[in-house]
Amino acid sequence: MHVLSIPTWIIHVSSVLEWIAAIWLIWRYADVTGNAAWRALSFGMIPSLVSAMCACTWHLFENAPSLVWIVTLQAAMTVVGNVTLMVGSWQVWRSSQVSP
């Protein structure tokens, strides 16, 4: 674990915890408002959470060359996460539009 400094580890781990909290809070918001579009946003956040977990995992094992595939997985999950967040956000926006 000496690859990263303690403050950097704090940032990495807190980012994962923040994503988990945000996913849960958005899911609860969907329940409270009855607007299922918020659930789509919550689901859309999962690939980004996986990406963050990949980064932590790779660093935990001291950036081992045998685990370089995790970096590829992280990059893929970042792209997928950006797309799913866009779709989820679009669904939230669409649900907020009032029909004439």
Q: What is the pTM of this model?
A: 0.88
| pLDDT tens digits, one per residue of 22-63 | 999 999 999 999 999 999 999 999 999 999 999 999 999 999
- Is residue 9 within 8 Å of 66, Cβ to Cβ? no
Residue 50 lies in a domain: yes
Q: Look at residue 25 and tell me if it is in a domain.
A: yes
Domain assignment present for residue 12? The answer is: yes
1 occurs within a structural domain: no
The answer to whether residue 66 is domain-embedded is: yes
The answer to whether residue 100 sits within a structural domain is: no
Q: What is the number of domains present in the chain?
A: 1
- Per DSSP (E only), the strands in the chain are none
- Domain range spanning residue 83? 6-95
In a domain, 55, yes or no: yes
For residues 67 and 78, give the distance between their C-alpha atoms in angstroms, rounded to a whole number: 18
70-79, pLDDT tens digit by residue? 999 999 999 9
Flag whether 60 is in a domain: yes
DSSP 10-36: HHHHHHHHHHHHHHHHHHHHHHHHT-T
